Amino acid sequence: MSVTSRYQQAWEGFWQEAPHEQGAVFWDAEPALTVARHLALFEPHLSDPGLPLVDLGCGNGTQTRFLADRFPRVLGADLSEAALELARAADPEGRAEYRRLDAVEKTGTQALHAELGDANVYLRGVLHQCEADDRQALADGVATVVGERGRALLVEPSEAAGALLRSIAAGPGGPPPKLAPVLRHGIAPGEVADAEVPEFLTAAGLTVLAHGTLPLTTTEYAPDGTRIELPSTWYVTGRAA
Ligand SMILES: C[S@@+](CC[C@H](N)C(=O)[O-])C[C@H]1O[C@@H](n2cnc3c(N)ncnc32)[C@H](O)[C@@H]1O
């Protein structure tokens, strides 16, 4: 199984039109406000910080580059070639490696595991907008990449984030400028029910080792001038008991 071509085209189209400068994409917040916070939650659970780290669904690589300065080998993987082009252009020194991967496709994640061995995984904002039929396969893909010793940190906007975004988009001024292209390309945020996420992980053979909530910082501002923060839930998971 791999993602539908509609979904793949939605992402390719989004990233082809996305501006290059950091902060121009809705979720492209500064790493200090995003991945740095997640790492503080992730690091105590890593059984081996020396394992390769895969940023699954890395987008334009803003968070990947931060990870690359902190782990020995970091690989950003994404469904979209256009996203990977942005990620490579923003990383001329090649601090991380980037490659195309459909995380829903079993043969792709199995080949990655065969190449890297067990890996740690960072996954931010990928499950909540993928198609309903793909969510279990995505969790299975995470389980394949982590193997026995790797750990994964997933952070996903909660279902309340979907409701919040829909109400912002329906406001008198319509969706704010950075949210508009996301919706125009048919990417629907906050679609996964909160209770389902740990169920997908468990069904993939993973154990939830820790979880909690955090505000997910965006780069967009509400009409009252405050920065839009989405309620989000994070999970640290792995095969360990
Ligand atoms: C909301 S963006 C988040 C990007 C990045 N994780 C970040 O935090 O900046 C979701 C990303 O997941 C990618 N993606 C969606 N489905 C995927 C799949 N099945 N396999 C790999 N990447 C996927 C999209 O192309 C997009 O770049």
What confidence score (pLDDT) does residue 4 get? 86
Distance, CA 117 to ligand 1 centroid (Å)? Answer: 22
What confidence score (pLDDT) does residue 168 get? 87
Q: What 3-state DSSP class applies to 210? A: strand
At 226, list the tokens: 């405050």
Please state, for a pLDDT cut of 70, what percent of the chain lies above it.
Answer: 100
How confident is residue 3, by pLDDT bands cut at 50, 70 and 90? confident
Q: Can you say whether residue 102 is alpha, beta or left, with left for phi > 0 and alpha for psi between -120 and 50 degrees?
A: beta
Three-state SS sequence of 67-114: HHCCCCCEEEEECCHHHHHHHHHCCCCCCCEEEECCCCCHHHHHHHHH
Choice from 5, 22, 79 to test ligand 1 binding pocket (greatest atom count within 8 A of CB): 79
What confidence score (pLDDT) does residue 241 get? 60
Residues in the chain: 241
Q: Are 67 and 96 in contact (CB under 8 A)?
A: yes
Q: Whose CA is nearest to atom 8 of ligand 1?
A: 124
Distance, CA 240 to ligand 1 centroid (Å)? Answer: 26
Mean pLDDT, residues 205-217 taken together: 96
* CA–CA dist 118, 193 (Å, integer): 29
Distance, CA 129 to ligand 1 centroid (Å)? Answer: 9
30-79: pLDDT as tens digits: 999 999 999 999 999 999 999 999 999 999 999 999 999 999 999 999 99
Provide the mean pLDDT of the chain: 94
Mean pLDDT, residues 108-130 taken together: 96
4-22: pLDDT as tens digits: 899 999 999 999 999 998 8
User: Which tops the pLDDT comparison, 224 or 187?
Assistant: 187
At 217, list the tokens: 């910082």
Question: Is 104 a pocket residue for ligand 1 (Cβ < 6 Å)?
Answer: yes
